[in-house]
A and B are shown apart, each in its own frame.
Chain A
Amino acid sequence: MAKIVSIHSFRGGTGKSNTTANLSCLVALAGKRVAVVDTDVQSPGIHMPFGLTEERVEFALNHFIWGECPIEKAAYDVSDALKGPGGPIYLVPSSMKISDIGRILKEGYDVRILNDGFQALIEKLDLDYLFIDTHPGVNEETLLSIAISDTLVLILRPDQQDFQGTAVTVELAKKLDVPQMLLVINKALPSMNFDTLREKAQKIYDVPVAAVLPLTTEMVQLASSGMISLAYPELEVSKELRKVAAQILAS
């Protein structure tokens, strides 16, 4: 049976989409059939590291939500991003068109449609893993993603606002009986003591810290244009991402 992995953060800018892209690729490279759904209809972004351009996208998640296409029609094979054997890996992007974003925000939608879409996608593409790149913050869509997830990866930066917000999300996730929760502390300054940070976070949240990802020059330079774990596999940040992927695969 397919595993659903939601990647969530309380605030934007934590590197959630980049981390989702990297983790989904690493799981695909382990020989798993993977799909990624970008449910961040307000500010879609995960298409960037996968190199999926607007021109190539005829149907997006928006069109499925509007009933204009079955979900598998909005799934694009992005296995080229793996740069090696593995996968396949598919991406269901949210529409990048301003008009589509405006429409979906204005009209809203029944989040139950999303759940139906996820199940259909798992069946149609015979998936092993479905990654959900959620919108930051807590709302009906993100709560649904958390509720149906087998694994919830919470991404946070080492700053007070993220610490506080993550505490709320952890509490909600526990009430929704998420089987596996992992914390990933991203954009940690190299001068920080990572072991101490990990220990403190684990103690406060009572959730394992799967990785502390350092902020590196390569990440800033690469920005959203590529997968750091594939472009620079020797870096500490890439090794940490592989550890997270391993924990997802082991669950």
Chain B
Amino acid sequence: MSLTHLGWNALWLYSLGISLLGVFGIYLGQKTRARSLQLLKQVEMEKKRADKLANFVIPIGLALSVQNELNTLLEKILMEAKTLSLADGGTLYLMTPEKTLRFVMVHNDSLKIAMGGTSGKEVTLAPLNLYDAAGSPNHANIATSCALDAKSIAIADVYSAKGFDFSGTKAFDQRMNYRTVSVLCVPLKNTDKTVIGVLQLINPQAPETKAIIPFDEHLCQMMDLLGLLAAAALSSYLKTKQLTDQIAELKIQIDEAKKERQVAEITDSDYFKSLQSRAREMRAKVKGQNS
């Protein structure tokens, strides 16, 4: 092989090498760019999360903590959650000592439904049982399941969801000419992890298009935090009310036997007997003077 031939081969190999390096470089560049974009997206999400925390969730929590009227507090919990999540509707349940979830508020903007809270309209829906007659936990209902496991549950579309009984929701939709799509249930948990209620939200709408969207992971995290703050405000209110009710029901109990004993210790003394006699004389004298 001549030198020229070798030279051309070397040049060809060199060009191939450069090309391969170039391609690899482009590949690496693209990967890096994709990774950077991913990181940027993550940073933006975290920033959004922090913004939402600072500008919405924490102020809502503070506002809830100063409510001193139950209906106003319950209403604020549901309304703020609806606003934060852009939900069309929401239900607030409170846990009863009988282990049922009592409906305390139901709202739906599209259907113009407002029950409970300060609306003046009582919610007459039957409470949901956490346990069936046999004592088995009721995981068929999304709200009771949320309460039982003390975990949030997000469903993208109730009509295609598996594992829950949405027959009640579907019957409601048919009756009201509505379409429930996405649902989020958030437990209201105390610091000792006791569930004192459940917040249920439906059909969040995209702000621009008003199209119904699922509850995304980011929003679910916000709602979990709001659930904790709402539970804290509600617990604090209920504890204060219990104490206030106890104080208002103040009992006056006199230990009669003790009283008689203490009175006798004094009235049996010579001093008291002398005082009693002098007091009678003095009052008789005054009475005589007045008459």
Nearest B residue to A201, CB-CB: B252
A172 CA / B275 CA spacing, docked (Å):
11
A138-B254 contact, Cβ under 8 Å, with A148-B279, A171-B259: no
A191 near B244 with CB under 8 A, answer yes
A197 within 8 Å of B by Cβ?
A: yes
> Of B248, B253, B263, which is within 8 A of A160 by CB?
B253
A177 near B252 with CB under 8 A, answer no
Interface residues of B in 232-252 (CB under 8 A from A): 244, 247-248, 250-252
Instruction: Give the interface residue-count category, chain B.
Output: 20 to 34
B248 near A177 with CB under 8 A, answer no
Interface residues of B in 249-291 (CB under 8 A from A): 250-255, 258-259, 262-263, 266-267, 271-272, 275-276, 278-280, 282-283, 286, 289-290
Q: In the assembled complex, which residues on chain B have CB atoms less than 8 Å from the CB atom of A196?
A: 248
A164-B267 contact, Cβ under 8 Å, with A147-B275, A158-B250, A177-B280: no
Instruction: Give the interface residue-count category, chain A.
Output: 20 to 34
Q: In the assembled complex, which residues on chain A have CB atoms less than 8 Å from the CB atom of B275?
A: 143-144, 147, 176
Q: In the assembled complex, which residues on chain B have CB atoms less than 8 Å from the CB atom of A102?
A: none
> Of A160, A172, A193, which is within 8 A of B266 by CB?
A172
A140 within 8 Å of B by Cβ?
A: yes
Q: In the assembled complex, which residues on chain B have CB atoms less than 8 Å from the CB atom of A124?
A: none
Q: In the assembled complex, which residues on chain B have CB atoms less than 8 Å from the CB atom of A175?
A: 263, 267, 276
B254 near A176 with CB under 8 A, answer no
Nearest A residue to B271, CB-CB: A140
Nearest-Cβ distance from residue A159 to partner chain B, whole angstroms: 9
* Interface CB pairs A-B, < 8 A, 8: A1-B286, A143-B266, A147-B282, A163-B254, A168-B266, A177-B283, A193-B248, A201-B252
